[in-house]
Amino acid sequence: MTRARMPRPHEVAAARRDPRLLRAVSERSLDDAWRTRGACRSVDPETFFPAPSEPVEAAVALCRTCDVQGSCLAWALEVGDCHGVWGATTPRERRAMLVAWRGQVRPDPEAADDELPPIHDRMLTLVPLA
């Protein structure tokens, strides 16, 4: 198993210009039902979660043909998912995009004050039962 590393500044700079990230930012709240139209629905899920030594090209190629690629990538970045192929990106690409995403996507100032931030921004406290 390989250990994930923090992306280098030049990788984050490249991610900020990546058209896949720009599309994800623009489509992040447009389609809540994107999963029902994904090209991946008819493919074995293991295709998108290959072992570290296996190629990801088949999954990335399928994602590139998908109409909901931007929404899929936006979801993966919103929840901080760094496993598998999402929105035609590899985990390594998404780690750099995640740094750029968190810098570009700001909470909606018009949102109600009582709304919770995304799960990755909340601290969860586990309370033991009796």
Q: How many residues does the chain have?
A: 130
pLDDT mean across residues, the chain? 80
**CA dist list (Å): 56 to 21, 63, 82:** 19, 11, 14
Q: What is the mean pLDDT of residues 101-126?
A: 50
Specify the range with the lowest mean pLDDT, choosing from 5-19, 24-38, 45-59, 114-128: 114-128
Listed in sequence order, the residues at least 6 apart from 22 whose beta carbon sits closer than 8 Å to its beta carbon are none
Q: Name the binding residues for [4Fe-4S] cluster.
A: 40, 63, 66, 72
Note the pLDDT of residue 3: 60
Q: 46 falls in which pLDDT band (50, 70, 90)? A: very high
Note the pLDDT of residue 1: 43
Q: What is the mean pLDDT of residues 5-25?
A: 89
Q: Name the binding residues.
A: 40, 63, 66, 72
Structure tokens at 127: 């309370």
The alpha carbon of residue 130 and the mean position of all alpha carbons in its chain are separated, in whole angstroms, by 38
pTM of the model: 0.73
